[in-house]
Chain A
Amino acid sequence: MSRNKARRHLALTPAGVGWLIVCVAAFVLATNYNNNIIFMFACLLFGVWLLASLLTYRNMSGVNSAPWQVTPCFAGGVAHYQVSLTSDDQREHFEIGCGQHSVDLINGVEHQWLHVEVPVSARGWFVPNQKMLFSTWPFGLWKVSKVTEDLPACLVYPEPCGSQPLPVVNQLSNDPQDMDELSGVRAYQSGDNLRRVDWKAMARTEQLTVKEFGGDESEKILWLSDNSVVKHVDKGDHQESDLRQLTRWVIDCHNAGVQYGLRIGNEKLTPGLGVGHYNNSLQMLALVSRG
């Protein structure tokens, strides 16, 4: 874990400005009426205001952040960045925040994850703005902020949407070149591709059988292609809507455990299964150059 020794910036919060105004008002009131109680109250308020700057600064000192981490996400959602915070002393650090979230570094904790959510709208590489760690603890009168390391770019997949059903295998262009050798025959079942019916065997045995290539899997391979997406005339950007539909199909296939391949324009991803293939597919969809 790399140590982050970035400079800390101390600034007044709006509440701190309000507090100061109240202090001044109390001082004026005390002076005007020669009232010691109000004067003491004003001194106390001002003392707390001064002390708050020290406490807030001290709360932030000793807090180190590791490089940010992020996992790819879908467009229209949020990118979940996370950073590991550590304390290089034995003190407790409270309400160390970034964005809307904050964490406590309680005495002795090895590290604490701080999560930040950044909304993303478009697919591709998303480069976020620099983020600051900050703390206003304990009184919210001062804000100490500290620049963290640059946030890494986040890969944003196309937003999965589209209501078109998964293409049916026989309606899709199964690529015979990618098929393996004949591995056997089996009895015909309703819905089997008629091209694979072993007509010769039927002539011999009078039973309807189908040939199997490259094992049983060859039947379940889907080729998801932008050509297989039904185009709607009224939709403006065909490419993006195709990609969104393809993303939906990829997710559905992955969830259903169906082997699938991907072909977009001239680019092709060989069929496969599993998380790796799923990620590669989504990455391919995310990084399709805009045409």
Chain B
Amino acid sequence: MFSRFRSQPQFVAVLFLLLVATLPAIVRLPMSVSLVCLLPMILHLVPPGKLRKLGLVPLLCLLSFVIYQSFDSWFGGDAIMAFICGLLWLKSSEVSGKRDLWLIMLAVCIVVALNALFGISLWQMSHLFVVMWLLLFNVMALQSSSFHSAWRSIALRCTSYLCISLPFAAVLFFMLPRIPGPLWDLGIAMGVPVKMIQQEQRPSPITGTLKSGQANQNKGKDVAVLIAEFESMIPDNNTLYWRGAVFSHFDGSVWRLPDGWDSRRNVMNNRIRNKADLDKRVTDGSDIIRYQVRVAPHGSYWLYGLDMPFRSAPELVLSKEYQLMGIRPIEREFTYEMQSYLHYTIDATLGDEQRMRALQFPIDTNPKVMGLGRLWAGENKNDADTVAKAKKWFVDAKLTLRKGPSENVVDQSLDDFLFETHKGSAEQLAGSFAMLMRAAGIPSRIVTGYRGGKNIALTNIIVVKQEHAHIWLEVWLQGKGWQRIEPVDLLSGMGLNVPVVKIKTKEKATEIQDQNDRSKAKKQASTLACNKGGDCSWWESEIIARLSAWMQGVELWVVHFDAEKQMDVMEEVGFERGTVGKLLFFSGLSIVVLMLSYMLIPLLIASCLGHKDREKASMLYYRRFTKEMARRGCEPQEGECPSEYEQRLLAAFPEHDESLSSIMSLFIMIRYGGEDEDAALLTEVKQFLATT
């Protein structure tokens, strides 16, 4: 059986490729499914013919049955992956020619791509490269008519070709404009109107109170709140904060809006009246972004703008808490143009009334929170240090959020949340941070709204749904105004490195983040290496640290490279943000330049080497032959004539006397007889090397 396999090495190589490509899936899938996926391998033991083909049917049925039993749905990721893997292994058992091998190899690419959907990591990337190398090797093996004798050379060439193709891949990877997915709503990009928001599916209105778990309650509903279309590219989803109601009053368990918040008179009284007033309040605004918003009807005055909206529009006003409001309840879809600063300073000075409201702490509630806040206030010289301290404390506290709808409303105090259960709602998380700040004497408030949205591919449109409901808080710092703090990011440690002070440019933020990540990785790696090995020399730890830092860099620049980062890089090299056309043009141009240089460089090298005489072919083959013989312990000696060498060879390898005599006599004929027998010598040498 195995001898038959050996007679088809290309086929065996494709099987190996298939095994490597499906390995992550096989490891991940339930064992029963994995076994059934690999079961078709036994068909290779059956002689080709009817019996083998008959064996395919029960195996296919078994595969379908096991998948049906093991997964909830046929269309789940794992079910699809299992089915594809199983089908490929089945197909491998009835391969009848090159075309089938090609089919398997191309399908392997899809398997690898699907595998990557289950996780993004350096290991995935390494697996991808291994599969890519094997794929190229197999493709080259299929093209070669002398695979038996030339597989080493094919392996080397395939490695070099893979390296040569990397610049192409790099140019495409870094320069090809990134289209934000998903593509399900591609019809909208093609001009189909965005689906109207249905009347019976209104988003939940703001009620004037904010209880624990309230935001999560509506997250399960697939109801659109607003649709925004940007003039330029959509900023990073995580930076889109759609500002809604601002809560300052807390009674110990519930946050409340002021009385009369939903009356037209209050709305009009509480507005920023003119541009001069707004300019006085909002200073240092930068990164202006323009967009149009369509808000779903909800029957109240609330409208939404990106944090921080700075320009009003007809029929809407901006409250003193920078909340957009309509002048009448929104009973039907309402569209308005808006502009926002992505970076800003607001309310650099704070009035007494505002300060009192933002420092309100209900008596006899949450004493531990109060105590901790006061402790920090005593320890730190300024408010910024206190905020930094609080952030670090939140990261270290290992708090977790309740996400399931059934766990939404839980009546527990902030003290319980922070010091006992460590598990709570988004409201409790933001509220506890705000109250800690208040206890430390730093004004704070809760802001509700939405974060992010769903991008519609190939458009600048984003759909914000109820599921994007979000809560964050603002703290007021002397001279810096209200600063947004994202408590959810603190749970993952992400928000820790972002300085509280205003970030001037995003590049700087990225740089700081990168530096922090690198140094952290280096430190961690060194510690890990030394802990693990017990005693490791400085250079070992240095190497591990450098390697780890390099891998961290790769992860940052390759695995996590996204549209935003691409824009940042392009901006650094002098392109404008959002110029997709230019990106496309320059990526195309780069590819053309690369191709031209690949064509010209060999010509240049050839012209440089052109003066060198061509070595006689026979000498090349003879040298190849003697090299192989030397490897086998019979090296030609200095001053030894070919016939003497032949005698030694015959004595050393009597089993190959015919081939050796033939090769040596051909060489002697060519070298000393002037015969033109290069091709014959080549054939002999090749045959000899292949057969031995």
Contact = CB atoms under 8 A, between A and B. Distances in A.
Nearest to A46: B172
A136 B143 contact: yes
A121 to B, nearest CB: 27
Nearest to A101: B145
A110 B116 contact: no
B417 interface: no
A187 B91 CA distance: 80
Nearest to B132: A44
Contact of A25 (B110, B144, B166): B110
Contacts of A55: 161
A34 B676 contact: no
A137 B679 contact: no
B109 A26 contact: yes
Interface in A106-150: 106-113, 136-141
Contacts of A36: 120, 558-562
B536 interface: no
Given A41-B128, A43-B172, A102-B145, A28 B120 contact: no
A288 B28 CA distance: 76
A18 B679 contact: no
A2 B162 CA distance: 37
B61 interface: no
Nearest to B119: A37
A251 interface: no
A28 B113 CA distance: 11
Query: What is the interface residue range for chain A against chain B?
Result: 35 or more
Contacts of B116: 35, 37-38, 41
Nearest to A37: B116
Given A19-B106, A36-B560, A90-B609, A138 B615 contact: no
A38 B560 contact: no
Given A43-B173, A90-B606, A95-B144, A33 B562 contact: no
Given A37-B116, A48-B165, A32 B679 contact: no
Contacts of A70: none
A67 B181 CA distance: 58
Contact of A138 (B143, B166, B602): B143
Contact of B617 (A18, A37, A50, A109): A109
B168 interface: yes
The interface centre, meaning the residue of A102, A104, A108 with most chain B CB atoms within 10 A of its CB, is A108
Contacts of A35: 116-117, 120
A89 interface: yes
A51 interface: yes
Contacts of A89: 606
A73 B433 CA distance: 96
Contacts of B106: 15, 18-19, 21-22
Contacts of B595: 50, 54
A269 interface: no
Given A29-B113, A40-B125, A138 B182 contact: no
Contacts of A107: 617, 620
A140 B142 contact: yes
Interface string A82-112: 0000000111001100000010101111111
Contact of A51 (B114, B165, B173): B165
A45 interface: yes
A133 to B, nearest CB: 15
Contact of A104 (B142, B146, B162): B146
Contact of B120 (A37, A50, A54, A104): A37
Contacts of B103: 18
A167 interface: no
Contact of A139 (B120, B140, B181, B183): B140
A94 B147 CA distance: 12
Contacts of B562: 34, 36
A39 B558 CA distance: 10
Interface in B106-161: 106, 109-110, 112-114, 116-117, 120, 124-125, 128, 132, 136, 139-140, 142-146, 157-158, 161
Nearest to B678: A110
Contact of B113 (A41, A47, A110, A139): A41
A32 B182 contact: yes
B176 interface: yes
A269 to B, nearest CB: 37
Given A18-B106, A136-B143, A139-B143, A41 B132 contact: yes
A58 interface: yes
Contact of A95 (B143, B184, B598, B682): B143
B575 interface: no
Contacts of B41: none
A42 to B, nearest CB: 8
A22 B165 contact: no
A40 B181 contact: no
A46 B558 CA distance: 17
Contact of A47 (B142, B165, B178): B165
The interface centre, meaning the residue of A41, A102, A141 with most chain B CB atoms within 10 A of its CB, is A41
A31 interface: yes
A4 B606 CA distance: 21
B109 A139 contact: no
Given A31-B457, A40-B173, A51 B168 contact: yes
Contacts of A111: 679
8 contacts: A33-B182, A39-B178, A41-B112, A41-B116, A90-B609, A106-B682, A139-B140, A139-B143
Given A37-B116, A51-B161, 8 more contacts: A25-B113, A31-B179, A36-B559, A38-B117, A41-B109, A43-B168, A54-B595, A108-B615
Sorted nearest first, the 3 A-B pairs with minimum C-beta distance are A47-B168, A108-B617, A47-B169
